[in-house]
Structure 1
C-alpha cells in the first residue's frame, strides 16, 4: 500500500517508521470494524424491510 503525506511525499509501508506503521494498521483495523458494523446494520435494515 502507498501512503501520501500532506507534503506530497509518497511512502510505502516499508519506509514508514514502526510507530507510523502501527498507527496505520490501527486505523485500517478500525476502518474494517466500521465497515463490518455498517454491513450488519444494512443487512438488518434489508431484512426488516423485506417483511413489510
Structure 2
C-alpha cells in the first residue's frame, strides 16, 4: 500500500497528508523507524505500520 492509495481511500489531499506525516515522524520514534528519508511511503496492508500511519494522518 502506498500513501497515494491511502489518500484515495480516505479522500485526503496527498500534499497535506505528507506534511502531517513529516510532523508525526519528528515526534514519534516508531514512525521514524518505519520510514527512511527520500524513499516512497510504502507499507503492507494490515501491518502495524499501516495502523501507525493511519493514526498519524487522521
Q: What TM-score comes out, normalization by structure 2 length?
A: 0.31
Higher helix share: 1
Structure (1 or 2) with the larger CA radius of gyration: 1
Q: What TM-score comes out, normalization by structure 1 length?
A: 0.33
